[in-house]
Amino acid sequence: MLKVFLLEEDRFLDYQLVNDYLTSIFNNVLVIEESSLRGSRFKDISIKEMHTIDVVGKNPNATPSSVAKELMVTLGTVTTSLNNLERKGYIERTRSEVDRRVVHLNLTKNGRLIYRLHRRFHKRMVERIIEGMDAEEMKVMGKGLTNLYRFLEDLK
């Protein structure tokens, strides 16, 4: 059985508790992001559209194909989302001057605003996670997160 030592409580977490935490964290982040959007002036954005905005914000001049790849969805799915976001005024498409077949995506003023708000939420979440951790604890957490990341990447 997998055991994870918790320093501050001097006890062990078992595999099921780690699994429960991961499941709960994933679900809570989605629910909180969704409710934050519903309670803001950006009520017209779904959580899936927010994730599309996030990818475009992190990758200026992204292409629809690169966004679809990062979100792990089909080009058709991302095109529908991009059409909605363009209609709502959050992204803009521009044709490449080098190759007119290529479309680049960028955020509009409103798109940049919601992107910054979303990034701020994630920054606060990370700050809270590492609050009070010393270097060794952060190293251990980093190792666990790296293992989880690699596991998920291998499943793609």
> How many angstroms separate the CA atoms of 93 and 64, rounded?
10
Q: Are 36 and 43 in contact (CB under 8 A)?
A: no
- pLDDT interval class at 119 (50, 70, 90): very high
The answer to whether the predicted template modeling score (pTM) of the entire model surpasses 0.75 is: yes
Whether pLDDT at 1 is above 50? no
How large is the angle between the packed helices 135-155 and 109-130, nearest 10 degrees?
Answer: 120
Closest CA to 118 of 52, 59, 27: 52
The predicted pLDDT at position 9 comes to 54
Q: Would you say residue 114 has pLDDT above 80? A: yes
d(CA 102, CA 134): 47
Q: How far apart, in whole angstroms, are the C-alpha atoms of residue 140 and residue 113?
A: 35
Q: For residue 10, is pLDDT > 60?
A: no
Return the pLDDT at 54. 97
CA 142, CA 137: separation in Å to the nearest integer? 8
Domains and CATH numbers, the chain: 45-125 (1.10.10.10)
pLDDT, tens digit, 9 for 90 and up, residues 57-111: 999 999 999 999 999 999 999 999 999 999 999 999 999 999 989 999 999 999 9
